[in-house]
Amino acid sequence: MKHLTVALFIQLLAFNVASAIENQYAGARAVALSNAYVSIYDTWSVFHNQAGISTIHDIKAGLYYESRFMVDEFSLMAGMVVLPTQSGVFGLSFTQFGTGTFKENKFGLAYSRQLSSKISAGIQFDYFMSKMPENKRSKGFATVEGGVIYQPTPELNLGFHIFNPVEAGLKTLNRTEKMPATVRLGGSYTFSGYVLACFEWEGNSQYDLQYRVGLEFLPAENLALRFGASGKPFIYTAGIGYTFKNMVTDIGFHYHGNLGITPAISIQFLF
């Protein structure tokens, strides 16, 4: 029965992907905060809002793994490298969703810099590839994304990000299946340096507006506890993070009422 359910789920997913590849988010810290990440400065911002990597001053690399609803066929793997230079910060990123005969891949090249003491901006060029069971070769297309973060006070960040504004997509024999343009808008506020609250709205040209909220607590040195929620559909999230000398490890979970639990883990290295 389980194998039949998985097979039907794969067929349903493949049908949905035929119309548009999904832009996958990565980072277990982001998962635990319900992906309310558009206004946060962090290495994993290369997957959310490229303006968020502008304040990085050291070379960093990270790996991410997610088991979507505990189904191996829906695993998500990602990796990134962030390289600061005198002219700005560059980021290389990669994601792969799915295994075997069904795969979605994304390759990204990002550039970000601080325009002033309060404003950062970033842009990323993407290339998507999709491999379906009925096709011998992968199909792909290129697009662009970018965003800004405004910091009016040391405690408050406001972020804006747009993905695929040109609505590029996969070309089929009959037409081009457009990938929806997506806009994210949100903010984050730090209370006394120990509590971070973040919120975000995301909307695109095909689906309803989605809201997200998250809280991060720092109860002890190098330790973080995180919680979040999002709507349409309603999903709970939670996670924990610990910082070692040159490594940051994060674990996150999100729970869907009908589909179950998705665990995620990410590791970040400082060079």
The pLDDT tens digits for 238-250 are: 999 999 989 999 9
Please identify which residue in the block is written with the tokens 């946060």: 40
Fold of the domain built from segment(s) 2-270: Porin (2.40.160)
Query: Is the pLDDT confidence value at 5 over 90?
Result: no
Whether residue 36 contacts residue 196, with contact meaning beta carbons closer than 8 Å, is answered with: no
Whether residue 91 contacts residue 112, with contact meaning beta carbons closer than 8 Å, is answered with: yes
**How far from the centroid of its chain's Cα atoms is residue 116's Cα?**
26
The pLDDT tens digits for 148-207 are 999 999 999 999 999 999 988 887 767 778 889 999 999 999 998 899 999 999 998 777
**DSSP one-letter code for 7:** H
Whether residue 29 contacts residue 226, with contact meaning beta carbons closer than 8 Å, is answered with: yes
Whether residue 42 contacts residue 55, with contact meaning beta carbons closer than 8 Å, is answered with: no
Q: To 5 degrees, how large is the angle CA 104–CA 110–CA 114?
A: 150
Residue 106 CB partners (closer than 8 Å, separation 6+): 21, 23, 24, 93, 94, 95, 126, 127, 128, 129
What pLDDT does 134 receive? 60
Among residues 80, 81, 84, the alpha carbon closest in space to that of 57 is found at: 84
What pLDDT does 20 receive? 54
Please identify which residue in the block is written with the tokens 């905060």: 33
Distances (CA, A) of 225 to 65, 79, 250: 19, 23, 10
Query: Is the pLDDT confidence value at 19 over 60?
Result: no
Query: Is the pLDDT confidence value at 269 over 90?
Result: yes
Question: Where residue 18 falls among pLDDT bands split at 50, 70, 90?
Answer: very low
What pLDDT does 8 receive? 40
**Full-model pTM:** 0.89
What pLDDT does 233 receive? 80
Mean predicted confidence (pLDDT) in 111-138 = 88
Mean predicted confidence (pLDDT) in 214-243 = 94
Mean predicted confidence (pLDDT) in 63-72 = 91
Q: What is the mean pLDDT of the chain?
A: 89
